[in-house]
Amino acid sequence: DAKTTQPTSMDCAEGRAANLPCNHSTISGNEYVYWYRQIHSQGPQYIIHGLKNNETNEMASLIITEDRKSSTLILPHATLRDTAVYYCIVPMDSNYQLIWGAGTKLIIKP
Amino acid sequence: EPEVTQTPSHQVTQMGQEVILRCVPISNHLYFYWYRQILGQKVEFLVSFYNNEISEKSEIFDDQFSVERPDGSNFTLKIRSTKLEDSAMYFCASSEFLEETQYFGPGTRLLVL
């Protein structure tokens, strides 16, 4: 089973920041949190990952709580093309296989 | 920007036939993976491959499945005798090292009739 829990769906207005939460309360000290998204059954697209510090790249920001039990992915200015299913994943220790949950379906509304 | 490619994008086959799905991982990557996604369901891990051998496989990856790196660039998934329930999107992924980001290809949509 996935080590993470996410809301099933969220809406966000175009141009606003989309904040997607994820709980990973059983994460261990050396495990990373990864975020991917999947647009309409296309191949999963890597977004960002982090260990304990906040991270930012050209796509998004990742805020990880100090206790590392939860994180938030932030899309700063959401566009219609950001409509997708977003997955928060903690890879399994032994072989780094990705265990996928149902993700959060993010719908960006005009 | 380097990317993982997969061919074909779509494949239709008859039940019982063999199919080979092809992937070209990112060139300096050493770890390769296959995942599948049945329509409307979660993405599922099938197998990981490193140094010309399987590192890990899931319960789904039974004797009907095999993987191979036939040359320096391709990574293939073979389904020996397809079943209706093999109909799914199959995604290949690669990473440079074990504990590194996996990058995914666009997928092959397999339909078994």
The per-residue pLDDT for A12 is 97
pLDDT at A34 over 80: yes
Position B5: which residue type?
T
B32-90 confidence digits (pLDDT tens): 999 999 999 999 999 999 999 999 999 999 999 999 998 878 999 999 999 999 999 99
Measured distance CA(A72)–CA(B88) in Å, rounded: 31
Q: Give B42 to chain A, closest Cα distance, Å.
A: 6
Lookup: tokens for B101: 């980001």
DSSP type of residue A36: E
The per-residue pLDDT for A3 is 85
Contact B48 A99 (CB under 8 A): no
Measured distance CA(B105)–CA(A44) in Å, rounded: 8
pLDDT at A30 over 90: no
Determine the average pLDDT of the residues in B19-35: 96
CB B92 within 8 A of CB B7: no
CA distances from B29 to B2, B76, B104 (A): 11, 15, 12
The per-residue pLDDT for A92 is 79
Per DSSP bridges, beta strands A55-56 and A61-64 are antiparallel
pLDDT at A95 over 80: no
CA nearest A56: which of A47, A46, A69?
Answer: A47
The per-residue pLDDT for A41 is 79
The per-residue pLDDT for A97 is 83
CB B9 within 8 A of CB A42: no
The per-residue pLDDT for A35 is 97
Sign (positive or negative) of CA dihedral B23, B41, A16, A68? negative
What is the pLDDT confidence band of residue B1, given thresholds at 50, 70 and 90?
A: confident
Chain A CB contacts of B45 under 8 Å are: 97-99
Q: Residue B84 in 3-state DSSP? A: helix
Chain B CB contacts of A98 under 8 Å are: 35, 43, 45, 102
The per-residue pLDDT for A84 is 97
pLDDT at A53 over 90: no
Beta bridge partners of B77: B21, B67
Per DSSP bridges, beta strands A104-109 and A9-13 are parallel
Nearest CA in chain B to A91: B99
